[in-house]
Amino acid sequence: MSEIGRLAIVLGFVVALWGIGASVLGALRRDSRLVDSGKHAAYAFSALTGIAVLALLSLLLNRDFNVEYVASYSSSTLPIWYTISALWGGMKGSLLWWTFILAVCNAVVQLQNRHKNRDQMPWVTATMLVVGAFFLSLLVFITDPFERLPFTPREGSDLNPLLQNYWMTIHPPSLYIGFVSTTVPFAFAIAALATGKLGDTWIRTTRRWALFSWFFLALGNLFGAAWAYVVLGWGGYWAWDPVENAAFMPWLTATAYLHSVMIQEKKDMLKVWNMVLVILTFSLTIFGTFLTRSGVISSVHSFTQSGLGPFFMGFLIAILVISIGLLVFRLPLLKSRNELESVFSREAAFLLNNLILVGIAFTVFWGTIFPVISEWVRGVKITVGPPFFNRVNAPLGIALVFLMGVGPVIAWRKATAQSLWRSFAVPAGTGLFAGALSFVLGVRNFYAVLAISVASFALATVWIEFWRGMRVRQAMMGEQPWTALSRLIGKNRRRYGGYIVHVGIVMIFMGIVASSVFKLELQRSMKVGDAATLGGYTVRYDGIEFENDDHVERTYARVSVWDGEGPNAVQIGEVLPEKRFYKKPKQPTTEVSIWSTLGADLYVVLGSYDPESQLAVFQVFVNPLISWMWIGGLVLTIGTGVCMWPSYAERTATVSARAPAGSRPA
Partner 1 sequence: MTARCQGRNQGNEEHPLLSRKLKFLCGASVIVLAVATLIYSAVRETSAYFLTVEEYAQSADAHAGKQLRLAGRVSDGTVKWDPKTLDLEFLIAPIPAKDAAAHLAADGGEAEPVAAVAAADAAVTMLPVRYNGILPDMFAADRDVIVEGKVEGGVFHAKTLLTTCPSKYESDKYESEAAAEEPAKDDLRAALDSARRTP
Nearer to partner 1, 158 or 569 (CB): 158
Q: Rounded distance, CA 116 to CA 122, Å?
A: 12
Residue type, 463: W
* 3-class SS string, 441-464: CCCCCHHHHHHHHHHHHHHHHHHH
Residue type, 88: W
Q: What is the closest distance, in whole angstroms, from the C-beta atom of residue 2 to partner 1 in the complex?
A: 15
Contact between 56 and 108 (Cβ < 8 Å): no
Residues 557-586 that bind partner 1 (CB under 8 A): 584-586
Nearer to partner 1, 46 or 423 (CB): 423
C-alpha to C-alpha distances, 237 to 231, 399, 495, nearest whole angstrom: 9, 23, 31
Residue type, 515: S
Q: Residues 6 or more apart from 380 whose CB is under 8 A from it?
A: 374
Residue in 304, 492, 533, 596 binding partner 1, rule: CB under 8 A? 304
Residues 353-412 that bind partner 1 (CB under 8 A): 355-356, 359, 362-363, 366-367, 370-372, 375, 380-385, 387-388, 391-392, 395-396, 409-412
Q: What string marks each residue from 84 to 103 as x (binds partner 1 by CB under 8 A) or -?
A: ------xxx-----------
Residues 467-506 that bind partner 1 (CB under 8 A): 468
C-alpha to C-alpha distances, 429 to 106, 162, 257, 458, 468, nearest whole angstrom: 49, 47, 31, 11, 17
Nearer to partner 1, 19 or 371 (CB): 371
Residue in 80, 111, 115, 154 binding partner 1, rule: CB under 8 A? 154
Residues 170-209 that bind partner 1 (CB under 8 A): none
Q: Rounded distance, CA 606 to CA 525, Å?
A: 10
Helices 309-329 + 271-294 axis angle, to 10: 170
Contact between 33 and 122 (Cβ < 8 Å): no
Q: What is the closest distance, in whole angstroms, from the C-beta atom of residue 243 to partner 1 in the complex?
A: 12
Our finding on whether 301 is near partner 1 (CB under 8 A) is: yes
Residue in 113, 306, 474, 637 binding partner 1, rule: CB under 8 A? 306
Contact between 623 and 593 (Cβ < 8 Å): no
Residue in 303, 439, 463, 466 binding partner 1, rule: CB under 8 A? 303
Q: What is the closest distance, in whole angstroms, from the C-beta atom of residue 101 to partner 1 in the complex?
A: 21
Our finding on whether 326 is near partner 1 (CB under 8 A) is: no
Burial of residue 166 (number of CB atoms within 10 Å: 0-12, 13-18, 19+): middle
Q: What is the dihedral sign for C-alpha 334, 406, 506, 463?
A: negative
Residue in 7, 10, 47, 149 binding partner 1, rule: CB under 8 A? 149
CA atoms within 13 A on the CB side of 556: 17
Our finding on whether 77 is near partner 1 (CB under 8 A) is: no
Our finding on whether 160 is near partner 1 (CB under 8 A) is: yes
Q: What is the closest distance, in whole angstroms, from the C-beta atom of residue 591 to partner 1 in the complex?
A: 10
Residues 402-461 that bind partner 1 (CB under 8 A): 409-416, 418-419, 422-423
306 phi, psi to nearest 5 deg? -155, 175
Residue in 111, 150, 337, 568 binding partner 1, rule: CB under 8 A? 150
Our finding on whether 352 is near partner 1 (CB under 8 A) is: yes
Q: Rounded distance, CA 71 to CA 659, Å?
A: 53
Q: What is the closest distance, in whole angstroms, from the C-beta atom of residue 312 to partner 1 in the complex?
A: 15
Nearer to partner 1, 184 or 269 (CB): 269
